[in-house]
């Protein structure tokens, strides 16, 4: 009876809330609402962390947003030596990126044992291969009830998402691959890595993977902060991920066996994987691929050039049919912008030309019927 009384009381309270919802709030009530809104914003900013059990082990996953399944989620996967926060926070917290973030759910996956504060694996632990990690992703989609995603991967994460996409083409609506290398290491790369392992610490090896030689020589603030971050991380776990990425298999992609979704390749000028990205571009379907080579971006363009990458990502999203009425924030600051572009059809290069876009919101660049290379 007491439970029934409490239920009646609760019902009455809910009715009272519904009745008084549109009335002006008292000062105390206003403060309570503001506190609740602030708490909600903080929770949204920090994300909700989950441990997702998969057939191959547990994945640490952080989710931002409303979890609406009407649109695909944006699914990210980080590079070696980083976690989801250090790899993507600068990009997805960038002011002009919020126009995208508020319309999509973000799902950040940390590779096994790479999240902040992860416990060390026991001696002799068999770390999952890159293929196995890719096979863990469908369970994450099922856990959050998402049928499709737009993948954003960097380095090793780009490789993992590529494997996942090739195996699950209907689950991926678009791919943004930063610093992608679709090839297994050759003998020269293997020998160079063996020599590097003898002469350099694990931290320095990974820094050489993440940053350009110019950045390393200049010892930029970004290099210094990542050197400190990596050295303080769980190096045993990082080494397991690093070794498995070095042992990756060839993706065997060519024009006849490739991704079924739109792809945007991104690499910094003079970045360690510039040549690998160029080679990948030559093997993809030119009708659905755009190639963005970013000047002054170094090895991690999502950290050094978030404004340029955000603008390119907005165009990419619009090209997929989402956010059609969204205006390009940087474009609206000036009357026009020019993108120096060179096109190639069926692997042959044609004349260079300049695309000039108006500042009106919702206007799309011409849909390319060939690979678009943009240097910015």
Residue with tokens 């399944």: 69
pLDDT of amino acid 68: 78
Tokens of 272: 């360690």
Structure confidence at residue 337 (pLDDT): 35
Rounded Cα distance between 164 and 98, Å, is 27
Who contacts 275 (Cβ-Cβ below 8 Å, separation ≥6)? none
Query: In the numeric block, which tokens belong to residue 290?
Result: 């755009």
Helix (H) or strand (E) holding 342: strand 336-345
pLDDT, tens digit only, all 376 positions of the chain: 445 554 454 444 434 333 333 344 445 545 554 444 444 444 445 689 999 999 999 999 999 987 777 899 999 999 999 999 999 999 999 999 999 999 999 999 999 999 999 999 999 999 999 999 999 999 999 999 999 999 999 999 999 999 999 999 999 999 999 999 999 976 566 566 666 665 579 999 999 999 999 999 999 999 999 999 999 999 999 999 999 999 999 999 988 889 999 999 999 988 999 999 999 999 999 999 999 999 989 999 999 999 999 999 999 999 999 987 655 544 444 333 333 333 333 333 332 222 333 333 333 443 443 444 555 5
Cβ-proximal residues to 168 (8 Å cutoff; 6+ apart), any chain: 137, 138
- DSSP letter at 257 equals B
Find the helix packing angle between 187-199 and 202-210, rounded to 10°: 130
CA dihedral 298, 302, 306, 311 (to 10 degrees): 110
Rg (CA), the chain: 23
The secondary structure of residue 251, as a DSSP letter, is -
Q: Name the strand (E) or helix (H) holding 252.
A: none
- Strand duo 371-375 + 336-345: pairing: antiparallel
Options 3.30.360.10, 2.30.40.10, 3.40.50.1820, 1.10.3720.10; CATH for 47-322 is 3.40.50.1820
Say how far apart CA 289 and CA 373 lie, in whole Å.
9
Three-state secondary structure call for residue 286: coil
pLDDT of residue 70: 85
Strands 73-77 and 289-294: unpaired
41's tokens: 């914003």
The full set of domain ranges for the chain reads 47-322
Which pLDDT score is estimated for 340? Answer: 34
Instruction: Tally the C-alpha atoms within 13 A of residue 176's C-alpha that lie toward its C-beta.
Output: 26
Q: What pLDDT, on the 0 to 100 scale, is given for residue 243? A: 94
Q: What is the pTM of this model?
A: 0.78
Separation of alpha carbons 109 and 78, rounded Å: 8
Tell me the β-bridge partners of 374.
Answer: 292, 341
Annotate 162-210 with DSSP letters as a single string. Answer: HHHHHH-GGGEEEEEEES---SPP-HHHHHHHHHHHHHS-HHHHHHHHH
Buried b (16+ CB within 10 A) or exposed e, 51-88: ebebeeeebbbbbbbeeeeebbbbbbbbbbbbbbbbbb
* Residues pairing with 343 in the sheet: 372
Buried b (16+ CB within 10 A) or exposed e, 122-158: eeeeebbbbebbbbbbeebbebbebebbbbbbbbbbb
Q: Are 303 and 225 in contact (CB under 8 A)?
A: no
pLDDT given for residue 375 in this prediction: 58
């Amino acid at each position: 009876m007491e439970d029934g009384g409490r239920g009646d009381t609760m019902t009455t309270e809910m009715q009272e809330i519904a009745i008084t919802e549109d009335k002006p709030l008292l000062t105390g009530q206003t403060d309570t609402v503001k506190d609740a809104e602030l708490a909600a914003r903080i929770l949204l900013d920090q994300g909700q962390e989950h441990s997702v059990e998969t057939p191959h082990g547990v994945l640490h996953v952080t989710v931002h947003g409303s979890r609406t399944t009407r649109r695909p989620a944006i699914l990210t996967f980080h590079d070696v030596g980083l976690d989801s926060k250090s790899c993507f926070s600068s990009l997805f917290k960038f002011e002009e990126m919020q126009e995208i973030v508020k319309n999509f759910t973000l799902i950040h996956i940390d590779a096994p044992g790479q999240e902040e504060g992860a416990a060390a694996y026991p001696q002799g632990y068999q770390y999952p291969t890159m293929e196995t990690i890719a096979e863990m992703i469908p369970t994450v989609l099922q856990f959050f009830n998402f049928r499709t995603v737009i993948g954003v991967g960097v380095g090793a994460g780009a490789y993992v998402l590529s494997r996942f996409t090739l195996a699950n083409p209907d689950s991926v609506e678009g791919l943004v691959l930063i610093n992608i290398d679709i090839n297994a290491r050759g003998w020269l790369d293997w020998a160079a890595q063996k020599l590097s392992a003898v002469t350099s610490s694990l931290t320095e090896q990974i820094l050489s993977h993440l940053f350009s030689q110019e950045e390393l020589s200049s010892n930029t603030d970004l290099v210094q902060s990542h050197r400190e971050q990596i050295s303080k991380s769980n190096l045993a776990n990082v080494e397991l991920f690093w070794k498995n990425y070095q042992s990756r298999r060839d993706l065997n992609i060519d024009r006849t066996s490739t991704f079924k979704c739109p792809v945007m390749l991104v690499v910094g000028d003079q970045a360690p994987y510039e040549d690998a990205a160029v080679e990948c571009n030559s093997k993809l379907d030119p009708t659905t691929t755009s190639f963005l080579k970013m000047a002054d971006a170094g090895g991690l363009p999502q950290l050094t050039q978030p404004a340029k990458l955000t603008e390119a990502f907005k165009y990419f999203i619009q090209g997929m049919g989402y956010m059609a009425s969204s205006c390009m924030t940087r474009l609206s600051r000036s009357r026009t912008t020019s993108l120096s572009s060179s096109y190639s059809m069926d692997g042959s290069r044609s004349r260079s030309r300049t695309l000039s876009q108006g500042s009106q919101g919702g206007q799309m660049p011409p849909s390319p019927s060939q690979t678009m290379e943009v240097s910015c």
